[in-house]
Structure 1
Amino acid sequence: MGKGFYVSKLVLAVGIIFTVAAVSTIIALAVVYSQERAKNNDVAKPPEETTTTSSTSTSTATTVQSNDPWNKYRLPTTLKPIHYDVELQPYLEKNAAGLYVFHGKSSAFFLCNTATDLILIHSNKLNHTKFNNFDAKLMEGTKEVALKGTFFQKDKQFLVVQVAESLQAGKEYSLYTEFIGELADDLAGFYRSEYVEDNVTKIIATTQMQAPDARKAFPCFDEPAMKATFSITLKYKKPYKAMSNMQDIETKTEGDWMITKFDKTPKMSTYLVAFIVSEFESIGNDGNDTVTGVKIWGRKKAIVDEKQGEYALSVTKPILDFFEKYYRTPYPLPKSDQVALPDFSAGAMENWGLVTYRETALLFDENVSSIGNKERVVTVVAHELAHQWFGNLVTIRWWNDLWLNEGFASYVEYLGADEAEPDWNIKDLIVLNDVHRVMAVDALASSHPLTSKEEEVNSPSEISALFDSIAYSKGASVIRMLSEFLTEPLFVNGLASYLKGFEYDNTVYSDLWTHLQMAVDNQTAVQLPLPIKDIMDTWVLQMGFPVVKIDTATGIVTQKHFLLDPDSVVTRPSPFDYKWIVPISFQISGKNDHIWLQKESDTVDKFKITGNDWLLVNLNVIGYYRVNYDDNNWNRLLNQLQSDHKLVPVINRAQIIDDAFNLARAKQLGITKALDTTKYISADREYMPWQAALSGLSYFTQMFDRTEVFGSMKKYMKKQVIPLFEHFKNVTSNWTIRPLSLTDQYCEINTLSTACSYDVEECLEFASKLFNAWMVPPFTNNIHPNLRTNVYCTAVAQGGEEEWNFLWDRFQETDIAQEADKLRAALACSKEPWILNRLLEYSLDSTKIRRQDAVSTISSVVNNPIGQSLAWDFVRANWKTLYSMFGESSFSFGNLIERVSRRFSTDFELEQLMQFKNDNQNPGFGTASQALEQSIEKTKANRNWVNENKAAVKKWFEDAILP
Structure 2
Amino acid sequence: MGKGYYISKNLATAAMVLAAIALLTIIALSVVYNREKSKNAAKFSNATILPVPPTPKTSNEPWDKYRLPDSLSPQYYNVTLWPRLVMNANGMYIFTGTSGVMFTCVKKTDLILIHSNKLNLTLFNGHHAKLAGLSGVTAPAIKKTWFQTETQYLVIQLEGKLKPEKSYWLYTEFTGELADDLEGFYRSEYMEDGEKKIIAITQMQATYARKAFPCFDEPGMKAVFHITLIHDLEMTALSNSQEIKTEKVIMDGTYVTRTIFGPTKKMSTYLVAFVVSDFAYINAKDKKGVSVRIWARKKAIEDGQGNYALNITQPILEFFEKYYNTSYPLSKSDQMALPDFNAGAMENWGLVTYRETALLYDPRTSANGNKQRIVSVVSHELAHMWFGNLVTLKWWNDLWLNEGFASYVEYLGADYAEPTWNMKDQIILYDLQRAFAVDSLTSSHPLSRKEEEVNTPAEISEMFNTISYSKGAAVLRMLSEFLTEPVFAKGLGSYLKQFAFGSSVYSDLWDHLQKAVDQTPGVNLPYSVHEIMNRWILQMGYPVVTIDTQTGSVSQKHFLLEPEAVVERKSEFSYEWFVPIKWMKKDQVQDQLWLLQKSTIHRPMKVSKNEWVLANLNVSGYFRVNYDLGNWDRLLSQLDSNHEVIPVVNRAQILDDAFNLARASIINITLALRTTKYLLNEREYIPWEAALRNMNYFFQLFDRSEVYGAMQTYFKKQVKPLFEYFGTISSNWTRVPTGHTDQFTQIIALSLACSTGVEGCRELTRSWFKKWMQNPHNNVIHPNLRSTVYCDAIAAGGAEEWNFGWQMFQKATVAAEAVKLRSALACTKVPWLLNRYLEYTMNPEKIRKQDATSTIGSIASNIIGQPLAWDFVRANWDYFFKAYGTGSFTFSRLISDITYRFCTPFELTQLKRFQKDNAETGFGSGTQALQQAIEKTTAKIKWLAENKEPVLQWFLSA
- TM-score tier by shorter-chain length is over 0.9
Corresponding residue for 2:145? 150
Shift of the alpha carbon at 1:45? 3.0
Alignment of 1:488-567 (within 5 A): 488-567=485-564
Corresponding residue for 1:4? none
Contact 1:445–1:563, Cα closer than 8 Å, also in 2? yes
Contact 2:102–2:170, Cα closer than 8 Å, also in 1? yes
Shift of the alpha carbon at 1:285? 3.4
Shift of the alpha carbon at 1:198? 1.2
Corresponding residue for 2:724? 726
1:108 counterpart letter in structure 2 = V
Distance 1:789 1:909 in 2: 30
Distance 1:130 1:241 in 2: 30
Alignment of 1:878-897 (within 5 A): 878-897=876-895
Contact 1:664–1:674, Cα closer than 8 Å, also in 2? yes
Partner of 1:506, secondary structure, is: strand
Q: Over residues 5-24 of structure 1, what are the superposed CA-to-partner deviations in whole Å (9 max), with x where a residue is unaligned?
A: xxxxxxxxxxxx99898998
Distance 1:270 1:669 in 2: 50
Corresponding residue for 1:159? 154
Shift of the alpha carbon at 1:114? 1.1
Is 1:472 the counterpart of 2:463 in the alignment? Answer: no
Q: Paired residue for 1:392, among 378, 389, 402? A: 389
Is 1:205 the counterpart of 2:203 in the alignment? Answer: no
Is 1:752 the counterpart of 2:756 in the alignment? Answer: no
Larger CA deviation: 757-766 vs 340-349? 757-766
Contact 2:139–2:168, Cα closer than 8 Å, also in 1? no
Shift of the alpha carbon at 1:586? 0.5
Contact 1:19–1:89, Cα closer than 8 Å, also in 2? no
Larger CA deviation: 128-137 vs 81-90? 128-137
Q: Over residues 399-424 of structure 1, what are the superposed CA-to-partner deviations in whole Å (9 max), with x where a residue is unaligned?
A: 00000100000000000000110010
Corresponding residue for 2:933? 935
Shift of the alpha carbon at 1:696? 1.4
Corresponding residue for 1:484? 481
Distance 1:791 1:567 in 2: 43
Contact 1:137–1:144, Cα closer than 8 Å, also in 2? no
Corresponding residue for 1:28? 46
Shift of the alpha carbon at 1:28? 3.4
Distance 2:941 2:139 in 1: 68
Distance 1:24 1:228 in 2: 31
Contact 1:287–1:335, Cα closer than 8 Å, also in 2? no
1:318 counterpart letter in structure 2 = P
Partner of 1:808, secondary structure, is: helix
2:76 counterpart letter in structure 1 = H
Distance 2:65 2:775 in 1: 63
Distance 2:307 2:717 in 1: 43
Corresponding residue for 2:306? 309
Corresponding residue for 1:414? 411
Corresponding residue for 2:86? 93
Distance 1:680 1:115 in 2: 72
Larger CA deviation: 890-899 vs 458-467? 890-899
Q: Give the 3 Å change call, closer, same or farther, for CA 148–692 of structure 1 in structure 2.
A: same
Contact 1:27–1:95, Cα closer than 8 Å, also in 2? no
Shift of the alpha carbon at 1:286? 6.4
Is 1:176 the counterpart of 2:208 in the alignment? Answer: no
Distance 1:70 1:25 in 2: 29
Q: Paired residue for 1:377, among 368, 374, 379? A: 374
Is 1:430 the counterpart of 2:448 in the alignment? Answer: no
Distance 1:380 1:501 in 2: 27
1:217 counterpart letter in structure 2 = A
Distance 2:610 2:831 in 1: 55
Partner of 1:752, secondary structure, is: helix
Contact 1:27–1:96, Cα closer than 8 Å, also in 2? no
Partner of 1:865, secondary structure, is: coil
Corresponding residue for 1:683? 681
Q: Give the 3 Å change call, closer, same or farther, for CA 657–938 of structure 1 in structure 2.
A: same
Distance 1:340 1:918 in 2: 41
Corresponding residue for 1:57? none
Is 1:911 the counterpart of 2:909 in the alignment? Answer: yes
1:262 counterpart letter in structure 2 = F
Contact 1:804–1:830, Cα closer than 8 Å, also in 2? yes
Shift of the alpha carbon at 1:766? 0.5
Contact 2:140–2:161, Cα closer than 8 Å, also in 1? no
Alignment of 1:803-822 (within 5 A): 803-822=801-820
1:103 counterpart letter in structure 2 = T
Corresponding residue for 2:860? 862
Partner of 1:761, secondary structure, is: coil
Alignment of 1:326-725 (within 5 A): 326-593=323-590, 594-725=592-723
Partner of 1:402, secondary structure, is: helix
Is 1:81 the counterpart of 2:74 in the alignment? Answer: yes
1:688 counterpart letter in structure 2 = I
Partner of 1:517, secondary structure, is: helix
Is 1:45 the counterpart of 2:37 in the alignment? Answer: no
Q: Give the 3 Å change call, closer, same or farther, for CA 833–583 of structure 1 in structure 2.
A: same
Is 1:254 the counterpart of 2:252 in the alignment? Answer: no
Corresponding residue for 1:784? 782
2:366 counterpart letter in structure 1 = S
Q: Percent identity?
A: 58
Is 1:186 the counterpart of 2:196 in the alignment? Answer: no
Shift of the alpha carbon at 1:779? 3.4
Distance 2:230 2:897 in 1: 44
Partner of 1:184, secondary structure, is: coil
Partner of 1:413, secondary structure, is: helix
1:273 counterpart letter in structure 2 = V
Distance 1:596 1:298 in 2: 50
Q: Over residues 331-351 of structure 1, what are the superposed CA-to-partner deviations in whole Å (9 max), with x where a residue is unaligned?
A: 000000000000001100000
Q: Paired residue for 1:216, among 211, 215, 226? A: 211
Shift of the alpha carbon at 1:453? 1.3
Q: Over residues 269-295 of structure 1, what are the superposed CA-to-partner deviations in whole Å (9 max), with x where a residue is unaligned?
A: 11100000001110003679x410000
Distance 1:438 1:98 in 2: 46
Shift of the alpha carbon at 1:691? 1.2
Is 1:133 the counterpart of 2:126 in the alignment? Answer: yes
Contact 1:686–1:744, Cα closer than 8 Å, also in 2? yes
Contact 2:441–2:560, Cα closer than 8 Å, also in 1? yes
Distance 1:583 1:633 in 2: 21
1:310 counterpart letter in structure 2 = N
Shift of the alpha carbon at 1:611? 2.6
Q: Which sections of structure 2, spanning at least 5 residues, go unmatched?
A: 1-32
Contact 2:286–2:314, Cα closer than 8 Å, also in 1? no
Shift of the alpha carbon at 1:775? 0.6
2:951 counterpart letter in structure 1 = V
Contact 2:44–2:97, Cα closer than 8 Å, also in 1? no
2:259 counterpart letter in structure 1 = T
1:932 counterpart letter in structure 2 = L
Partner of 1:102, secondary structure, is: strand
Contact 1:149–1:163, Cα closer than 8 Å, also in 2? yes
1:691 counterpart letter in structure 2 = E
Shift of the alpha carbon at 1:928? 0.6
Q: Which sections of structure 1, spanning at least 5 residues, go unmatched?
A: 1-16, 47-63
Partner of 1:108, secondary structure, is: strand
Distance 2:188 2:74 in 1: 31
Larger CA deviation: 531-540 vs 697-706? 697-706
Shift of the alpha carbon at 1:618? 0.3
Contact 1:20–1:26, Cα closer than 8 Å, also in 2? no
Distance 2:716 2:285 in 1: 55
Partner of 2:220, secondary structure, is: coil
Shift of the alpha carbon at 1:101? 0.5
Corresponding residue for 1:50? none
Partner of 2:827, secondary structure, is: coil
